[in-house]
């Protein structure tokens, strides 16, 4: 089994790559530069699997197409695609620049579409699995994140549409929606904001990258065989 994971250098993507490697997948780890995935590649090795690193800007459509075909050739197929790369550029609507809106949409939403289109043929051949990492923010919204929330909500519609398009070829396409997960993306929050937010999570703690990775692993394994077009929330009850 060959799995490609974007945003695999750190955080949630790193945990997903390691989890899939543990299950025996050969993992293509993708980040902005191959060197950034060096630690993930060795963690995959320690987990008993095999991983290779590539660098690309997920927003660059033609480079993504080239990368997917290289991975397909070098690793001998493509069975699993995890679209996890994403960025935030938070600002209230009235203060948000067009650049901040466009940058988040380009990386988070267009990046996901770029990989889906480039990988569709190999995935149709293998009857593969796709997991798109969205966010509960795409459902419930968040002040200061209009760009990010729009991108993540877009991923949900993209997921359902592509699930319908590829179902006849046996490809399952789902979205996972993490809540508040401890990674670099959320590290910038103040202690007070963190305490307030974690206090509002019914399960009483911030999530770990592994909490998300285990759900992704389930969807990519035998348990995911009859699940497609779904949006699965992994947020400790945050969005309830």
Kindly indicate which of the ranges 11-19, 64-72, 196-204, 223-231 contains the residues binding ligand NAP, using the contact rule CB under 6 A.
11-19
- Exactly one of 31, 158, 213, 215 binds ligand NAP (CB under 6 A); which one? 31
List the structure tokens of 215.
Answer: 């759900």
Q: Which of 131, 107, 123 is nearest to 13 (CA)?
A: 131
Report which secondary-structure segment, H or E, holds 52.
Answer: strand 50-55
Decide if residue 86 touches ligand NAP (CB under 6 A). yes
- Cα four-point dihedral sign 27, 6, 234, 181: positive
* Stretch binding ligand NAP (CB under 6 A), from 67-75, 176-184, 190-198, 221-229: 176-184
Q: Can you tell me which of 19, 110, 183, 228 binds ligand NAP, judged by CB under 6 A? A: 183
What 3-state DSSP class applies to 2?
A: strand
User: Is residue 124 exposed (0-12), middle (13-18) or buried (19+ Cβ within 10 Å)?
Assistant: middle
Match 């999570």 to its residue by tokens.
201
Stretch that binds ligand NAP, among 30-38, 65-73, 157-165, 193-201 (CB under 6 A): 30-38
The contact pattern for ligand NAP, residues 44-63, with x = CB under 6 A and - = no contact, is -------------xxx----
226 is catalytic: no
Q: Minimal CA–CA distance to 68: which of 166, 2, 131?
A: 2
Catalytic positions, written as ranges: 148
**Contact set with ligand NAP (CB under 6 A):** 6-13, 31-33, 36, 57-59, 84-87, 107, 133, 135, 178, 180-181, 183-186
């Amino acid at each position: 089994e060959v799995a490609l994971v974007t945003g695999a250098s750190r955080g949630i993507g790193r945990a997903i790559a390691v989890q899939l490697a543990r299950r025996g997948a050969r993992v293509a780890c993708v980040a902005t530069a191959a060197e950034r995935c060096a630690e993930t590649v060795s963690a995959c090795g320690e987990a008993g699997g095999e991983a290779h690193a590539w660098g690309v800007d997920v927003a660059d459509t033609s480079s993504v197409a080239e990368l997917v075909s290289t991975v397909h050739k070098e690793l001998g197929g493509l069975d699993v695609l995890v679209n996890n790369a994403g960025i935030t550029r938070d600002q209230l609507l009235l203060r948000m620049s067009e650049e901040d809106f466009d940058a988040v949409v380009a990386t988070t939403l267009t990046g996901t579409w770029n990989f889906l289109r480039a990988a569709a043929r190999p995935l149709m051949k293998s009857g593969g699995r796709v997991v798109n990492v969205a966010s509960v923010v795409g459902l419930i919204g968040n002040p200061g994140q209009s760009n990010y929330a729009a991108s993540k909500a877009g991923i949900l519609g993209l997921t359902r549409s592509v699930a319908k398009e590829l179902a006849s070829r046996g490809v399952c396409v789902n979205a996972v929606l993490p809540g508040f997960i401890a990674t670099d993306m959320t590290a910038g929050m103040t202690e007070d904001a963190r305490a307030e937010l974690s206090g509002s999570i019914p399960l009483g703690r911030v999530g770990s990258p592994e909490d998300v990775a285990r759900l992704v692993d389930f969807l990519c394994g035998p348990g995911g065989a009859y699940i497609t077009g779904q949006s699965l929330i992994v947020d400790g009850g945050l969005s309830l």
